[in-house]
Amino acid sequence: MIQPSVSDKIYRPTKLATIIDALLRDGIPVDDALRDLGVKASELHSPDTLVSLEQLLAACRIATRLSRDPHLPFRIGSSVHVSTYGMYGYAILCGTDFRRTFEFCVKYHILAAPLVNISYVERDGMCCWTIDPLLHRLMDERLYRFVVEMQMGVHISLQRDIMGPAFRPYELTLTYSQCEDFRLTEELLGCKIRFNQPSNQLTFDAKWLDGPASLGNRTTYAAVVAICDELLADLKYRSGVAGKVRAFLLQDLANRPTLGAIAERLGSTTRTLRRQLDHQGTSFRELLDELRSQVAMKYLRDTIMTSEDIAVSLGFSDAANFRHAFRRWTGKTPSEFRNGAEGSA
């Protein structure tokens, strides 16, 4: 299981932008909405921007401080649709069986820049989502409620996207008392709400799972899930200590630091760093190969650099060693890969 640090900047800014955009629509000045977030307004909707869960949680904290709308967290959540989540959302949309789709949602939830853990169970003709905020130690009671109510809005919105706008939950239970600053109402949700319960849960009739997945497509779903697998692998390499090692290597692949040098810069030892990478299911060699192969393919697709030039830029002793490594990575020679890329352009 991937367990990124809260400070790892590995997520697209889409969810962060959703929160900030809601504040701007409410008349909050952009400088106030972005204060101390470490993100500029011009970066909010850029595909090149990466943000952390820490920044996302900070945006929620800003919203609790600046907004006077008691329904803001639910309103933000309700504005999130499958398109917000890129390939993860597209896979949700393409599922042909709602039960399998929900299993996918849980398994790949890390791709959604999650502030909560989610779990799902079907029992006695009813279905139930359980919502549990992840970062308890970083939350006060008010922020906890904000995150829960925002996620309830997300869940209802996504289920309406795939099941149709008529979807209605049966009941909502919350672990806290009813409050006045942020509050959910039965009129807002169209279902019963019970407070001071053991867990945060969204319950609905299981008959919704037997409806037709009118937007589903089995072929497309399989293809998009394969892409999500690649995104999970990429997330593994970008998060935790592997992400830190990766960043050092990217600074100069031709004159890359040794594992020992990186360990020293991280205030660690070679043995400890090797063990930490192993815990993440990778190694220094695997990270180096992954980066070299990605950069090599980019050069072959997007430039006219020769194999000799690419070999030098990646730190190989000669072009023959580069060609041997590239065949090991891809099953093709650099020339075969380049010709194939040009043919598909």
155-179 mean pLDDT: 95
What average pLDDT score do residues 256-268 get? 93
11 — alpha (psi -120 to 50), left (phi > 0) or beta?
A: beta
- If one counts every other C-beta atom within 10 angstroms of the C-beta of residue 282, the result is 20
Residues 264/248, Cβ–Cβ less than 8 Å = no
Give the closest residue to 115 by CA, choosing from 194, 19, 196: 19
DSSP H helices in 115-239: 141-163, 186-189, 218-238
Measured distance CA(172)–CA(193) in Å, rounded: 5
Q: How far apart are CA 14 and CA 315, in angstroms?
A: 36
CA distance 124 to 126: 6
Angstrom distance (rounded) from CA 126 to CA 205: 5
Measure CA 89 to chain center. Answer: 11
Report the predicted TM-score, pTM, of the whole model to 2 decimal places. Answer: 0.80
Domain 239-344, what architecture? Answer: Orthogonal Bundle (1.10)
Contact of 173 with 199, CB cutoff 8 Å: yes
Helix (H, G, I), strand (E, B) or coil at 201: strand
b/e map 209-245, b = 16+ CB within 10 Å: beeebebbeeebbeebbeebeeeeeebbbbbbbbbbb
**pLDDT for the residue numbered 3:** 67
Dihedral, CA of residue 131, residue 167, residue 67 and residue 48, to nearest 10: 70
Q: What is the pLDDT of residues 88-140, one digit of tens each?
A: 999 999 999 999 999 999 999 999 999 999 999 999 999 999 999 987 778 89
2 confidence band (pLDDT: 50, 70, 90)? low
- The one-character DSSP state at 256 is P
Q: Given this model, what pLDDT does residue 134 score? A: 87
pLDDT of residue 46: 93
Who's near 243: CB < 8 A, 6+ residues apart? 4, 8, 10, 237
For 215-260, what is each residue's pLDDT tens digit? 999 999 999 999 999 898 888 778 888 888 988 898 888 899 999 9
- Domain segments of the chain: what residues? 70-210, 239-344
Max Cα distance, the chain (Å): 70
